[in-house]
Amino acid sequence: MSAIVARRYYKRGRDALGRDDLEGALEALRSALELAPHSSSARISYAVCLARRGDTPRAAQTLRAGLGTRASAVSRAALWVTLGDILTASGDFLGAEDAFRQAASQSGFEARVASGLARVYGKLGRYPEAFAQLAIAGRALAEAERPTDHDTESAPRR
């Protein structure tokens, strides 16, 4: 029962976040997180909301707390990459670099990790590394958009 209520709070919070109603989003997402502390989606959304309000230390703390829970590999990578984004915004570039590197081991996050590292390296003045990461991000995005064999087999023939 509490999982259903937590999901409703989460959806309400995401909708409020989409409307840029940060106070409403914070309230709903905090409730979702209290009811389902293991929910990485609620935790990430709550941290993003905190960061948008300018409370990046609390946002980072919220994400780090989620890394201490039993989360799937994909959820852990999402927590790490979001932590990297928040640490970049707060100016902790070395911490952000470490967070992005932690997320790099999970398949499916290549473009987000590379673009995050490019921002970090750009801020640190490490421009050759930043450009190299941008190239990696571009290749990862192109690869993600390429149709798979399964997609082309089911496509209508002309």
% of the chain beyond a pLDDT of 90: 83
pLDDT of residue 3 exceeding 90: no
* pLDDT of res. 156: 46
pLDDT digits (tens, 9 = 90+) for 96-124: 999 999 999 898 999 999 999 999 999 99
Return the residue matching tokens 């390296």.
121
Dihedral angle of Cα 15, 16, 18, 20, to the nearest 10 degrees? 170
* pLDDT of res. 139: 95
What is the reported pTM?
Answer: 0.87
Sign of CA dihedral 32, 34, 39, 43: positive
CA distance 27 to 81: 24
Q: Which domains does the chain have, with CATH numbers?
A: 2-146 (1.25.40.10)
What tokens does 95 get? 């911490």
CA distance 136 to 111: 7
Tell me the pLDDT band of 144, cut-offs 50, 70 and 90.
Answer: confident
Higher pLDDT, 63 or 154: 63
What tokens does 32 get? 């979702």
Higher pLDDT, 148 or 30: 30
Tell me the pLDDT band of 151, cut-offs 50, 70 and 90.
Answer: low
CA distance 23 to 113: 29
Q: What is the mean pLDDT of residues 76-98?
A: 97
- The rounded Cα 154 to chain-centroid distance in angstroms is 32
